[in-house]
Chains A and B, each alone.
Chain A
């Protein structure tokens, strides 16, 4: 059979399939809707997972890890040490050198210290972050100011607190709190500080336990002088992290890329993806069952027609093609419906998000809302998967039709 003949038969198969689907419009519509709803649900699930993971990663990079961190060679993950050997000396000079690299946008020193905040009869463990208030790295906190004003570099008594801490301890701008801070030589320093401003990062875990003060004041109260815990680095392009890390390699420092620092998030994403595969299979399994059921009904309703087609010389594969064409049309309707329904749902949750509250995992900063994030890759993959599943689901009824003996089919039920 020539290519043109095959093409003609294919066109005929689709023409018949389209008309056959039109014979029972409500059933065909419901079947396509089942495919569409299945696809829409998967689009939403995929985009929420993608949004959650991308959001958590971006949030953690923006607030905590940066694209790179320069730590002293003795740095160990999770260790907060203020001993001079565990700190970077002359951090401004180191930051300036890093800043001279073309890929680097921000390089700023930060001092990290543990502290206990006491307030009349209440106390709470917090993390002090000594920052250069003028650095662009603080933009997320500036943007998130909800009361008061941002601290200044020469402020010796002012701090910023997160909104969750402010709510829990009923602290307002202008209130004073006492901070107990362990110094580099192991003593404990104590001082009254004034709340200059309240910020939110919309990340409950972070906003409850982080206090900002100017780097110079943090160095003074912890007796670390001209030292910092880390140089926080942001790049123009996160993919340059490895190349920049390579360029600033030194025996005195440990260079940590965002990937190394956020290994947990990527592992968590892998785990979540594996878990979601099971859910995808359940949703697609239900969809496939609806399609199979619809087409099996169609085969039994049209048994006599199958017999007629066989009698006039249509081979089994031609009859099979008829039902596969119907499945392909159902899939097309389903995919269009799925993209419309799923697109609308994803658009809504991309703008408004889903409120999850304080959903904290150590080392991962989730915002209080998950925003859907749909990628073209996901749309293409799901469209292909939906087509494949629908076609696979139609194989059984198509084979059932193709294997009918003409004489039995002609005596079967149908029109």
Chain B
């Protein structure tokens, strides 16, 4: 079953009179349980494509569907609801709320989707345990290393049990050891839970983790290969 399907998506950015075509008509379908890398040089459109799939942005033309639902027809609040329930994010910068502890960061999406307090507590602790940070639950982001922060972000992305996790350059700000740890965890969780991972990267150390590699150049998919 398709978790996401992008059909003839274009995205044009306009800065003053200058138009930049970030995507020029992309078709992509990602099935359940995939562990897929979007690769390509800077400016190839991989982050833009990831943002369209994550409903953080909207295509200039074309469609994006999540779990069979056409998201381009949804309003702002409906897109927020779909993100909340179906998609988890891991960003390049360790996107945690600095005033919340690791536990509270993981708990936040559970609060937003109305999980009961007891279930919330159990799930947040379970996810921190899964990324090996149960003992850091009450540390704030500035008390954690970059790798630990990114693992908390992975735990948060998985907390609500989404079908799809989108990770934008998840290892770009990590050293080799921490980058490997994060990728190992993502790979393990993909296998254990069957959740779909799509990550954008140009780090060759990361690409070999992917079972499918989609290559973009100048806003177009130029290669789509399994490995």
Binary per-residue interface labels of chain B (55-77) against chain A in the complex, 1 for a CB within 8 Å, 0 otherwise: 01100000000000000000011
Q: How far is the CB of B138 from chain A (nearest CB, A)?
A: 14
**Is A282 in the interface zone, CB < 8 Å from B?**
no
B56, A313: Cβ atoms closer than 8 Å: no
**Is B7 in the interface zone, CB < 8 Å from A?**
no
Count contacts on B: residues with CB < 8 A to the other chain.
29
Given contacts A5-B114, A8-B117, A406-B56, contact A312 B84 (CB under 8 A): yes
Q: A19 to B104: give the CA distance in the assembly, Å.
A: 13
Interface-facing stretch out of B92-100, B124-132, B185-193, B216-224:
B92-100
Given contacts A405-B57, A407-B56, contact A313 B85 (CB under 8 A): yes
A304, B76: Cβ atoms closer than 8 Å: no
Q: A410 to B112: give the CA distance in the assembly, Å.
A: 19
A316, B112: Cβ atoms closer than 8 Å: no
Nearest opposing residue in chain A for B76, CB measure: A316
Q: How far is the CB of A8 from chain B (nearest CB, A)?
A: 6
A313, B84: Cβ atoms closer than 8 Å: yes
Binary per-residue interface labels of chain A (1-42) against chain B in the complex, 1 for a CB within 8 Å, 0 otherwise: 110010011001000100110110000000000000000000
**Is B147 in the interface zone, CB < 8 Å from A?**
no
A305, B83: Cβ atoms closer than 8 Å: no
Q: Which residues of A contact B80 (CB under 8 A)?
A: 310, 313-316
**Is B81 in the interface zone, CB < 8 Å from A?**
yes
Interface residues of A in 28-59 (CB under 8 A from B): none
A9, B54: Cβ atoms closer than 8 Å: no
Q: How far is the CB of B198 from chain A (nearest CB, A)?
A: 15
Q: Which residues of B contact A8 (CB under 8 A)?
A: 111, 117
B99, A19: Cβ atoms closer than 8 Å: yes
A16, B97: Cβ atoms closer than 8 Å: yes
A311, B83: Cβ atoms closer than 8 Å: yes
**Is A415 in the interface zone, CB < 8 Å from B?**
yes
Q: How far is the CB of A308 from chain B (nearest CB, A)?
A: 5
Nearest opposing residue in chain B for A5, CB measure: B114
Interface residues of A in 392-415 (CB under 8 A from B): 405-407, 410, 415
Q: Which of B57, B76, B109, B114 contacts A312 (CB 8 A)?
A: B109
Q: Which residues of B contact A406 (CB under 8 A)?
A: 56-57
Binary per-residue interface labels of chain A (177-221) against chain B in the complex, 1 for a CB within 8 Å, 0 otherwise: 000000000000000000000000000000000000000000000
Q: A415 to B95: give the CA distance in the assembly, Å.
A: 9
Q: Which residues of B contact A316 (CB under 8 A)?
A: 76-77, 80
Q: Which of B57, B93, B97, B112 contacts A313 (CB 8 A)?
A: B112
Given contacts A19-B99, A311-B83, A312-B83, contact A318 B56 (CB under 8 A): no
Q: Which of A19, A304, A312 contacts B93 (CB 8 A)?
A: A304
Nearest opposing residue in chain B for A405, CB measure: B57
**Is B32 in the interface zone, CB < 8 Å from A?**
no
Given contacts A9-B112, A304-B93, A316-B77, contact A16 B99 (CB under 8 A): yes
**Is A379 in the interface zone, CB < 8 Å from B?**
no
Nearest opposing residue in chain A for B91, CB measure: A410
Nearest opposing residue in chain A for B79, CB measure: A406
B95, A315: Cβ atoms closer than 8 Å: no
Q: How far is the CB of A7 from chain B (nearest CB, A)?
A: 11
Q: A406 to B84: give the CA distance in the assembly, Å.
A: 13
A9, B111: Cβ atoms closer than 8 Å: yes
Q: Which of B77, B99, B108 contacts A315 (CB 8 A)?
A: B77
Interface residues of A in 317-338 (CB under 8 A from B): 318
Q: Which residues of B contact A308 (CB under 8 A)?
A: 91, 95-97
Nearest opposing residue in chain B for A409, CB measure: B56
**Is A105 in the interface zone, CB < 8 Å from B?**
no
Q: A308 to B83: give the CA distance in the assembly, Å.
A: 12
Q: Which of A20, A312, A405, A415 contacts B112 (CB 8 A)?
A: A312
- 21 CB < 8 A contacts A-B: A9-B112, A305-B97, A308-B95, A308-B96, A309-B108, A310-B80, A311-B56, A311-B91, A312-B83, A313-B81, A313-B84, A313-B109, A314-B84, A315-B76, A315-B80, A315-B81, A316-B77, A316-B80, A318-B112, A407-B51, A410-B95
The interface of chain A, by Cβ under 8 A from chain B, is 1-2, 5, 8-9, 12, 16, 19-20, 22-23, 304-305, 308-316, 318, 405-407, 410, 415
List of 10 A-B pairs having minimum Cβ-Cβ separation, nearest first:
A313-B84, A19-B99, A407-B57, A5-B114, A406-B56, A407-B56, A315-B80, A308-B95, A312-B109, A313-B83
